[in-house]
Every structure is written in structure tokens, then in C-alpha cells.
Chain A
Amino acid sequence: MSRVTSAETFARARRREHRVLALLALAAVAVVVAFCVIALRGNWEYALTIRARKVAAMVVVGCAVAVSSVLFQTVTNNRVLTPGIMGFDSLFVLVQTLVVYFFGALALSSADPRLLFAGQVVFMVVFAGALYRWLFGRRSRDLYVLVLVGVVCGTLFSSLSSLAARLINPNDFVVLQDTLFASFNSVDQDLLVVSAVLVAVVSLWMGRLFRRLDVLALGREHALNLGVDHRSVVNQVLVAVAVLVSVATALVGPITFLGLLVANVARQLAGVSRHRVVVPASALLAVVALVGGQLVLERVFSLDTALSVIINFVGGIYFIALLIREAKR
């Protein structure tokens, strides 16, 4: 029997990973093109611009959700929780609502939107850090307790948001509703550009950490033994996750289960946990899911339903299946 060397084995694995990524990239390009050109009628130049903007929004949101979910799962060492499930995006909605509640819509519209967004992100960073330390800092971290805390937090934040929304005067409420119930159809162009830049910068920054994150995924003690500064990497990831969640939520509102779905399917397709593969694979999958889903909804069923409803339905079922599987282990 000839001996299998590590060089050969790893080279074969790399080739497989490249194939998976190439296929996913192809699928993503295909749905994007299909979305832009299928049933293009009338003033096609105008229609194309509208569609392109919509696709751009979906790509930005898809990347933000996918990257933040994979990284969050790595630093929390589990496959079931995502920022969405832990209620991070509901928190962002709450922050937005409270800003309107305390300062009024007028102040909101007269303030520099970028400054406002920066303020909200800083708040998210602080809060996400505190929540993480509180939940994951302890030795014992029972998955079900964490899931429960996440669900409770999410519900609490949304209830507080709707309570605050009720107390806001009607004029302000209209403004708030515009920002909160944004969908891919009504994304603000300036916000989109800023978001795209932010997501790109944060993704590149995280890309530099990928190899260390591979080690971190083995667990805290393994990471320390192998010389990875656990605390510093986790802190950087938490800041990045807070920024990405804020961007995605500001653009289209919460899509709770999208991250969970793409992160896990990407891992399964790739067959490895390496971030260099899993992160881009999830981002591509998210684009396929969002653009493909919207395409089917709009062009095949001519439905006006928000895509998030369907993604959350599928993702929710998947979440329950994951929980049951974990329980059996």
C-alpha cells in the first residue's frame, strides 16, 4: 500500500474547495443576471437601473449577514446561534426607534445620517460586547439557556420597539416606519453606498484574521496553546459583527434566520471549517438565497410578500431541526 502524504491530501482538499467556491460563484452570477434581465419591458434602461440597485442591496445585505453569522458562530463555538437568533438585529431596531422617540423625527432628519448611523453602531458594539461577556464569559454555557436568552432578548427588544413606536407622535411615526419597514424595493442610494463600503472594509479586515479564526474554532485552550491571542481576536470579531448587523438591519430590517441557514449549508457543502472557504461560500449562498428567492417571488408567483417571511419560515424549520439534532448528541 502506498502511503498517503499530507501534501497530497491537503492539495486534494484545496482543489475540492476551489470547485465548490467556483460553482457557488457561478450560481450567484447566474441568479443576479437572471434577476436583472428576465421580463425586462418598457423603458428598459430605467428598469435595469432600479433592478441593479435592488440586487446591489441584496448582495450587500447577504454578505453582511453571512460574514457576521459565520464569525459569531466561531467565537461562540457553536453551530446553532447567530447574531439574528441572539436578538442583535431587534436591538438595532430598538435603538433606531428610541432615537426617534427621544429626539423626534425632525432632529433625525436634520442630523447627519452618517453621524447618526455611527452613533448607533457604537451603541451596538458596546451592547453586543456586554451581552457576549455576560453570556459566554462563564464556564458553563448550556446551549438551551443561550437559545432561550436569545429568544427572550429578541422578543423583549421588539416589544420595547413597538411600545416606543406607539408613544411616538404620528408624524414622527411615519418617518420611523419608512426607515424600519424598508425593503429591497426602497433602499436609499446614499445609505447603500456607505453600507457597501463598510461591508467591504470590515470583510477585508476579518479576512486577515481567517487563519487565526480557524485555530480559535478549536476552542479557547487550543487557541491559547497555539499562540492565538484569544481575547484580541474575539474583541475584533465582536466589533465587526456589530457593524455588519447594523448595516444589514439598517438596509432591510431583521432577517433572523438567513445567517443560520447559509452558514451551516456552506459548511456542509465545503466539508471543512476553514474560514477562507466557509465565509465566501456563505456569502455567495446568501446572495443566491436572497436574489434567487426574490426572483422566484416576483417573477414566478408575482407575489408582493416580503422575502424575509419565506426565509424565516424555511430558516426557522431548519433551526428547530438543528436543535433537535443537538439534543440527540
Chain B
Amino acid sequence: MIEVRNVTKTYGSTKVLDDVSLTIAPGGVTSIIGANGAGKSTLLSIIGRLLPADSGRVTVDGLDVATTPGATLAKRLAVLRQENHTSIRLSVRELVAFGRFPHSRGRLNATDLAAVDEAIAYFELEEFADRQLDQLSGGQRQRAHVAAVLCQDTDYVLLDEPLNNLDMRHSVQMMRRLRRMARDFAKTVVLVVHDINFASCHSDEVIAMRDGGVVAQGPTAELMTPELLSTVFDLDIAVHDIGGNRIGVYYS
């Protein structure tokens, strides 16, 4: 269980997160939606202990992320940021193998190597597995980063816009994989998504954010309403039932 209690973050004089409290139950896919600058990435980074909160507390399975040793936490919680730069020369395979570090401490055994091969195969990275990251397209690179994080094989996985740069097929494949992880292995997946329809079709729960606060949290079907979506995004959004899913239409 992820528990966020009264978390506040301020940059200069602007409050980016204003007294946020929420609970994410274990097992399941939770999508965070909201406009640019709503504070989604900031919240995810604080939960993933990449960023310290100014005040408040975040616990994962009762472990305070600010004080638990990094090596312990890295076996339970993995986080991928929105932007990922590496300044060193690195092949896809090497990057994915780094995902095993919390378990292998740098000495890859047969299990680690098998996990690396599996992730590379699933994300269709075999063809360029030994190419340098900077020689890939944006979507290929994104897949490599997600593969590395999933290779970490943690109970909690936080992904900031994992669908960035992905084409439709790879987006769907990625969401299916996340769902399957949640269903078959009881993993807790929290992701930031901009495409509300991906959030709608693949998540169990949605958290809607606006101006540094949580506007609503609940089962996906309950939140996919024209009223709520238009207050969150300041945009008229019609919602239709198509093939058993709630689909928002806002293109014209």
C-alpha cells in the first residue's frame, strides 16, 4: 500500500503540491491524470524518493521512503521519470541489465540474464539490443527505459508517461503488460498518462490532479464523466460507451 500524507512541495513562492494525501491500494493499475503543470510528476518523484518533500510523509508498505535505505527500497519500488538522459555510452542491453542491479549488485546470474533477455524480447528490442541508446528513435529509447524498470521486478512500479513517443501498437502492448503484471503478479502499477482513453481502458483506478491538489480519486468508470473531465482539463469532453469502455471524445 502506498500512503501519501499531507505532502507539500514549494518551488520559490509557488506551491506545486498543496497538502496532498492519498492512499493507493496494493495490486492494480492506477492512472494519474491532469493538465500540464498539475504536479503529477512532482508527486510521482516524491513517492519514488527521487525528490524530497518539504513536509508530509510517504510510506510504501509501511516503509518511509525518505528514511528507508535505498538498497532495501529498490527491491520493492521502481520509478521511471518523464525525461531520461544518460551521459555515458550505453547499449540497450546494458541499460536493461542495470535494472537488475538491486538484486544482483552488479553480478548478473542466470536468473538476471534471463530476465534481461525476456524484457528485451517483450519490448521488441532484439534488433537493436546492442546499439547505443543515442542511436535509437525516441519510442525505441522509451521502450528500452521501461524495459529496464520492469526488469527491476518490484512490487511497486511508478511510471511517468510511459507511453511517451510510442506508436499505437506499442502503447497498447505496454498497457497490456502493465495490466497483466498487476493481475497475475499482484503488482501495484502507478502511471501518469495524458491519453484519458488509455487510462480509461486499462486502469482500475484514476487519480485526477489539478493545481497541485487531488480533485478526485476512484474507480475508473466513476471518474470518466464529462463533468469531472471538463473541470480537470478545462475542456469540453463527451464520454461514450464503446465496446464496454468509457471513451472520451474531445478532438474537435
- Taking beta carbons and an 8 Å cutoff, which residues of A are in contact with B? 3-7, 9-10, 77-79, 211-212, 214-215, 217-219, 221-222, 224-229, 267, 272-273
Whether B206 sits at the interface, judged by CB under 8 Å, is: no
Whether B172 sits at the interface, judged by CB under 8 Å, is: no
Q: Knowing A225-B48, A225-B74 touch, does A6 contact B88 (C-beta < 8 A)? A: no
A6 and B70 contacting across the interface, CB-CB below 8 Å: no
Q: In the complex, what's the smallest C-beta–C-beta distance from A326 to chain B, in angstroms?
A: 11
In the complex, chain B residues whose CB is within 8 Å of the CB of A212: 106
A-B contact pairs, 30 of them (CB 8 A): A4-B126, A5-B113, A5-B117, A6-B93, A6-B108, A7-B110, A9-B93, A77-B87, A78-B87, A79-B87, A211-B106, A215-B98, A215-B101, A218-B86, A218-B90, A219-B86, A221-B81, A224-B70, A225-B80, A226-B101, A226-B102, A226-B152, A227-B69, A227-B102, A228-B70, A229-B69, A229-B70, A267-B89, A273-B88, A273-B90
CA distance A4 to B126 in the complex (A): 8
B90 and A221 contacting across the interface, CB-CB below 8 Å: no
In the complex, chain B residues whose CB is within 8 Å of the CB of A9: 93, 129-130
In the complex, chain A residues whose CB is within 8 Å of the CB of B108: 6, 10
A211 and B105 contacting across the interface, CB-CB below 8 Å: yes
CA distance A228 to B89 in the complex (A): 20
B97 and A227 contacting across the interface, CB-CB below 8 Å: no
B89 and A221 contacting across the interface, CB-CB below 8 Å: no
A222 and B86 contacting across the interface, CB-CB below 8 Å: yes
Residue in chain A with minimal CB distance to B112: A6
A6 and B116 contacting across the interface, CB-CB below 8 Å: yes
In the complex, chain B residues whose CB is within 8 Å of the CB of A267: 89
Most buried by B among A6, A7, A9, A221: A6
In the complex, chain A residues whose CB is within 8 Å of the CB of B101: 211, 215, 226-228
In the complex, chain A residues whose CB is within 8 Å of the CB of B107: 211
Whether B72 sits at the interface, judged by CB under 8 Å, is: yes
CA distance A273 to B50 in the complex (A): 24
Q: In the complex, what's the smallest C-beta–C-beta distance from A4 to chain B, in angstroms?
A: 7
Residue in chain A with minimal CB distance to B88: A273
Q: Knowing A6-B116, A6-B120, A214-B106 touch, does A222 contact B93 (C-beta < 8 A)? A: no
B98 and A218 contacting across the interface, CB-CB below 8 Å: yes
In the complex, chain A residues whose CB is within 8 Å of the CB of B169: none
Q: Knowing A219-B87, A229-B70, A273-B90 touch, does A6 contact B98 (C-beta < 8 A)? A: no
Inter-chain CB contacts under 8 Å: number: 87
Residue in chain A with minimal CB distance to B130: A9
Residue in chain A with minimal CB distance to B107: A211
Residue in chain B with minimal CB distance to A268: B89
A3 and B126 contacting across the interface, CB-CB below 8 Å: yes
A227 and B72 contacting across the interface, CB-CB below 8 Å: yes
CA distance A174 to B21 in the complex (A): 69
In the complex, chain B residues whose CB is within 8 Å of the CB of A215: 98, 101, 106
In the complex, chain A residues whose CB is within 8 Å of the CB of B105: 211
In the complex, chain B residues whose CB is within 8 Å of the CB of A10: 93, 97, 108, 113
Whether B79 sits at the interface, judged by CB under 8 Å, is: yes
Q: In the complex, what's the smallest C-beta–C-beta distance from B122 to chain A, in angstroms?
A: 13
Residue in chain B with minimal CB distance to A276: B106
Whether B71 sits at the interface, judged by CB under 8 Å, is: yes
Residue in chain B with minimal CB distance to A7: B113
Whether B5 sits at the interface, judged by CB under 8 Å, is: no
Q: In the complex, what's the smallest C-beta–C-beta distance from A241 to chain B, in angstroms?
A: 19
CA distance A197 to B108 in the complex (A): 33
B106 and A225 contacting across the interface, CB-CB below 8 Å: no
Q: In the complex, what's the smallest C-beta–C-beta distance from A209 to chain B, in angstroms?
A: 11
In the complex, chain A residues whose CB is within 8 Å of the CB of B38: none
The 5 A-B pairs of least Cβ separation, nearest first, read: A227-B74, A211-B106, A227-B71, A227-B70, A226-B101
In the complex, chain A residues whose CB is within 8 Å of the CB of B81: 221
Q: In the complex, what's the smallest C-beta–C-beta distance from A325 to chain B, in angstroms?
A: 14
Residue in chain A with minimal CB distance to B76: A227
In the complex, chain B residues whose CB is within 8 Å of the CB of A226: 74, 98-99, 101-102, 152
In the complex, chain A residues whose CB is within 8 Å of the CB of B129: 4, 9
- Assuming A7-B110, A78-B87, what are 12 further A-B pairs, CB within 8 angstroms? A6-B93, A211-B107, A212-B106, A219-B85, A221-B81, A222-B98, A225-B80, A226-B74, A226-B102, A227-B69, A227-B75, A273-B89
